[in-house]
Every structure is written in structure tokens, then in C-alpha cells.
């Protein structure tokens, strides 16, 4: 039967693929038969179908070819000091006209491009593996050594209390601050909360050059009969800090002594104590190591009259981001606790030259929108428990994670 015949013929039913036309090769009668309107249209349709089939087969060949080439390249790249190849050599050059239609950003036309994709894949796998290896905050099941600076009041005290509520039995806390009386009060409160040991240490961290922090930590462990290999988890919380001179504009910061004193307390002592703490526990690979930097929104956003405070917090954040990048097995968190009712708020209201900043803090107090230290400490524990952040991240109290 000729599908384009202009004369009526006996009806014929053909069983086979339906190419999408309404009246070709179907049961018909003399009264309803209509020929296909255009032979060329039908031929083009057949050609398109054939081309699609050819592309499907070619695509499979292409994927198989790339898979083999990728494995060969990976073996070559992994086994040699350098990857030796003709970087402009095409891959399946006869298929290059369609290669970019199949996930183009992840396909290569040349060996050189393939090498770069292999490197990218290996880096992605490496980073993925590092992320999975980082432990969650696991106080309930791991005996921990916890060091907290600025632990005598405010946020530091609240963090110590919240950690003590969840800590594993026989864990050990080292609390550092300038006030012996306040530290002893915190110590007694913690020991009522849980079966833990607590050691307090009075240090003025604004003079880090006076101390050998590594020796101090080792001496505390020895004097309290704490063996380093008895811990499964070690945690350091860098909370101590100051707001700096907020009565001056940035352009008026002209005192060398004042600036040096600020950064000794808020940056230098943090770096030195952190390094010492990690050295003390560096020989024990079984530890979960968690480093927490109490940061601030001021570390990522400028505020008038906070030139020293913003600079110090931003510097600390970046230092710990680098630590996280260099030490993928350490769980590092920059935690911004939000607006918290502490002595710092009173200092801002009384001493800032920026009236709008003073008014904003006063309004938060009056409206009850300022946070209690215990509230932000609970939020910190929740963030650590959930472990939805990446090591080194800056996470704010209000962040939805």
C-alpha cells in the first residue's frame, strides 16, 4: 500500500510503531480514508527519529568512552609525579559535535580538560570525606576536657553551666578568668550539676607574654590527677574579650599602647592559648577536638564606634577559619551569640559616641528582646549537637540551621 496514493484502497491494518500521525497505517474505510498530505514531511519525521536513535547510541558510546578515559587519566595522575600528556589531544573527536549537549559543564573535549575534571573530582571527594569525619558535639557519651576563658560571668559562665548539664561523668573543666571569687562560685555551681571535676585559674589574658600556656595546661592536668589519654573529647571555648574604646571614632585611634593592649587580650592571647591547648593534646589521635570562638555580628558587619571590637572579632573569625582549613579533623565554630544582657551592654549605653547605638541597646533592654546568657548558651549546645555547619563557619544565634 502506498501511504501517499491518491486513490482509495482496501483497508489495511499494520501492527508496529506509531510514528505519531493520525491516519497512517491504521484501520480505515473507503469513506474515511485520507492520504498523508506530504511525503517529504513523513520522510523528515523518519529522519528525525533515526537521528534521535543515533544520538542515543552515540551518547552511550560517549559516556562509556569518557568513563574509560577518566579512569585511565586518574591512574596516570595518581601514579606519577606529574601527569604527562598531550593536553590538546581530543577525546572521541568524531563525537565532539554533540559532547557539549550532555551535561556540558562536567564533560571534557580534550585530555587537558579531563585532567582538570579528575583533579576537581578528587578534591570534591577529599572535602566530602573530611566533612563526614568531623564529629558532632557528643558530651553525653564521651569523657571530656573542657577549657573556657572568661568563665566567671555572663556568656562564659552560662556556657560552662550548659555544658555541665550534658557532660559525661568524670569529665574535667578548666575555668579561666580574672576574678577568683567569681570563678569559685561557678565551680561550686558546676559540681552541683554533674559528677565532674573543676579547676579554676586566675589569669590576666591581657598580658600573654607573661605566660607559658602549654606548661600551665599541663600543670593543671597533673595537679588534678587528670591523664590526657583518659579523655575522648577535648573542647576549648574562647570567650574572654573586651569591647575596646568606644568613645573614639576610627580616625581618632592614635594611641599605640591602647591598641596594643586591646589586641593582646582579644587576639594574641587567643592564638597563643589555642596553640598551646592543641599541642597538649596533639599526640592523641582518638580525641574529638572542638574549638569554639565566641564571635559577634560585629565580626562580619561594621558598627559605628566599634572600630576595635569589629576589628578584633573579624581577626579572630579569620584566624579560626584558617585553622579549620588547615586542620580538617578539628571541629571549629565561630559562634555569634546575638545581643546578650551582659556588662558590655551597659558599657555601650554609657560610653559610645554614637547616640543611635546607645538608643538601640536601651530599646532592646526595655522591650525584652535582648537575650539572657543562658538562652544563647542553650542555642550553642543545640548548634553543636545538630552539627549542620561546616568547620570554620560563622554561625549566628538567629541563623536557621
Of 278, 238, 265, nearest to 148 by C-alpha is 238
Domain boundary among 108, 133, 158: 133
Stretch 198-222: mean pLDDT: 97
Same domain, yes or no, for 278 and 148?
yes
Mean pLDDT of the chain: 80
The pLDDT-based confidence of 79 (bands split at 50, 70, 90) is low
Higher pLDDT, 263 or 108: 263
Q: Whose grid coordinates read 573586651? A: 242
Asked if the structure places residue 138 within a domain, the reply is: no
From 3-12, 36-45, 86-95, the region with the lowest mean pLDDT? 3-12
Of 347, 286, 343, 350, nearest to 155 by C-alpha is 343
DSSP element (H, E) containing 200: strand 197-202
Same domain, yes or no, for 351 and 338?
yes
Strand partners, 335: 294, 395
Q: Does residue 205 contact residue 240 with C-beta atoms inside 8 Å?
A: yes
Q: Which residues contact 355 (CB under 8 A, 6 or more apart)?
A: none
Burial 331-363 (b: 16+ CB within 10 A, else e): bbbbbbbbbbbbebbeebeeebeeeebbebbee
Residue 211 to residue 205: CA distance in whole angstroms: 9
pLDDT in tens, 99-125: 445 555 555 556 566 656 655 655 554
Same domain, yes or no, for 251 and 322?
yes
pLDDT in tens, 346-401: 899 999 999 999 999 999 988 888 999 999 999 999 999 999 999 999 999 999 98
Cell of 188: 561550686
Q: Give the Å distances, CA to CA, from 287 to 145, 162, 278.
A: 10, 21, 11
From 56-70, 140-154, 261-275, the region with the lowest mean pLDDT? 56-70
Same domain, yes or no, for 121 and 149?
no
pLDDT at 282: 86
Of 67, 50, 52, nearest to 101 by C-alpha is 52
Residue 396 to residue 297: CA distance in whole angstroms: 7
pLDDT at 167: 82
Same domain, yes or no, for 325 and 207?
yes
Same domain, yes or no, for 15 and 129?
no
Q: Give the Å distances, CA to CA, from 32 to 9, 22, 108, 210.
A: 11, 12, 54, 104
Query: Taking the CA of residue 234 as centre, how many other CA atoms within 13 Å lie in the half-sphere pointing to its CB?
Result: 25
pLDDT at 294: 99
Strand partners, 234: 145, 289
Residue 401 to residue 399: CA distance in whole angstroms: 6
Stretch 298-305: mean pLDDT: 97
Domain boundary among 103, 133, 163: 133
Higher pLDDT, 319 or 122: 319
Same domain, yes or no, for 51 and 33?
no
CATH number at residue 358: 3.40.50.720
pLDDT at 354: 94
Same domain, yes or no, for 22 and 50?
no
Same domain, yes or no, for 118 and 163?
no
pTM: 0.68
Q: Whose grid coordinates read 589531544? A: 89
pLDDT in tens, 130-146: 444 455 566 667 899 99
Q: Give the Å distances, CA to CA, from 177 to 47, 154, 156, 379.
A: 82, 12, 9, 23
Of 142, 85, 129, 87, nearest to 109 by C-alpha is 87
Domain span at residue 6 reads 1-37
Domain count, the chain: 3
- pLDDT over 60 at 2, yes or no: no
DSSP element (H, E) containing 294: strand 288-294
Q: Whose grid coordinates read 564571635? A: 295
pLDDT at 131: 44
Stretch 135-163: mean pLDDT: 88
DSSP state of 254: -
pLDDT at 151: 98
pLDDT at 10: 47
Residue 218 to residue 262: CA distance in whole angstroms: 27
Is beta strand 172-177 parallel, antiparallel or unpaired with respect to 144-149? Answer: parallel
Same domain, yes or no, for 313 and 387?
yes
Asked if the structure places residue 139 within a domain, the reply is: no
pLDDT at 129: 45
Asked if the structure places residue 401 within a domain, the reply is: no
Maximum mean pLDDT: which of 25-29, 45-49, 275-279, 366-370: 275-279
Asked if the structure places residue 172 within a domain, the reply is: yes
DSSP state of 64: H
Q: What is the DSSP string of 217-237?
A: HHHHHHHTT--GGG-SEEEEE
From 10-24, 244-258, 382-396, the region with the lowest mean pLDDT? 10-24
pLDDT in tens, 321-349: 999 999 999 999 999 999 999 999 989 99
Same domain, yes or no, for 101 and 178?
no
Q: Whose grid coordinates read 589574658? A: 205
Q: Does residue 276 contact residue 221 with C-beta atoms inside 8 Å?
A: no
pLDDT at 186: 98
Domain boundary among 83, 105, 133: 133
pLDDT at 255: 97
- pLDDT over 70 at 15, yes or no: no
- pLDDT over 50 at 163, yes or no: yes
Amino acid at each position: 500500500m502506498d501511504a501517499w496514493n491518491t486513490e482509495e484502497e482496501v483497508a489495511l491494518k499494520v501492527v508496529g510503531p506509531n510514528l505519531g500521525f493520525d491516519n497512517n497505517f491504521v484501520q480505515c474505510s473507503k469513506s474515511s480514508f485520507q492520504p498523508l498530505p506530504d511525503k517529504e514531511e513523513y520522510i523528515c519525521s523518519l529522519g528525525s527519529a533515526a537521528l534521535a536513535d543515533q544520538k542515543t547510541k552515540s551518547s552511550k558510546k560517549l559516556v562509556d568512552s569518557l568513563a574509560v578515559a577518566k579512569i585511565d587519566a586518574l591512574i596516570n595522575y595518581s601514579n606519577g609525579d606529574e601527569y604527562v600528556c598531550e593536553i590538546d589531544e581530543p577525546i572521541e573527536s568524531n563525537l565532539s559535535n554533540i559532547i557539549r549537549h550532555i551535561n556540558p559543564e562536567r564533560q571534557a573535549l580534550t585530555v587537558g580538560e579531563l585532567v582538570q575534571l579528575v583533579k576537581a573530582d578528587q578534591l570534591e571527594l577529599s572535602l566530602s570525606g573530611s566533612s563526614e569525619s568531623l564529629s558532632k558535639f557528643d558530651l553525653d557519651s564521651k569523657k571530656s576536657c573542657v577549657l573556657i576563658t572568661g568563665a566567671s560571668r555572663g556568656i562564659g559562665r552560662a556556657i560552662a553551666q550548659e555544658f555541665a548539664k550534658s557532660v559525661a561523668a568524670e569529665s574535667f573543666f578548666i575555668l579561666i578568668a580574672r576574678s577568683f571569687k567569681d570563678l569559685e562560685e561557678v565551680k561550686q555551681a558546676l559540681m552541683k550539676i554533674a559528677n565532674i571535676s573543676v579547676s579554676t585559674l586566675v589569669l590576666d589574658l591581657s598580658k600573654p607574654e607573661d605566660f607559658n600556656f602549654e606548661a600551665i595546661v599541663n600543670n593543671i592536668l597533673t595537679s588534678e590527677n587528670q591523664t590526657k589519654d583518659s579523655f575522648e573529647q577535648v573542647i576549648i571555648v574562647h570567650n574572654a574579650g573586651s569591647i575596646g574604646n568606644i568613645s573614639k571614632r576610627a580616625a581618632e585611634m592614635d594611641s599605640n599602647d591602647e591598641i596594643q593592649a586591646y589586641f593582646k587580650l582579644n587576639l594574641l592571647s587567643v592564638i597563643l592559648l589555642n596553640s598551646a591547648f592543641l599541642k597538649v593534646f596533639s599526640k592523641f589521635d582518638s580525641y574529638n577536638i572542638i574549638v569554639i570562638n565566641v564571635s559577634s555580628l560585629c565580626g562580619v558587619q561594621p558598627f559605628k564606634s566599634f572600630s576595635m571590637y569589629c576589628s578584633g572579632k573579624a581577626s579572630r573569625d579569620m584566624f579560626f577559619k584558617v585553622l579549620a582549613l588547615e586542620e580538617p579533623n578539628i571541629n571549629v565554630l565561630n559562634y555569634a551569640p546575638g545581643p546578650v544582657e551582659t556588662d558590655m551592654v551597659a558599657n555601650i549605653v554609657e560610653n559610645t559616641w554614637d547616640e543611635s547605638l546607645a538608643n538601640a541597646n536601651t530599646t532592646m533592654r526595655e522591650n525584652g528582646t535582648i537575650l539572657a546568657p543562658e538562652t544563647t548558651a542553650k542555642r550553642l549546645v543545640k548548634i553543636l549537637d545538630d552539627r549542620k555547619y561546616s568547620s570554620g563557619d560563622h554561625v549566628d544565634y538567629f541563623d536557621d540551621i
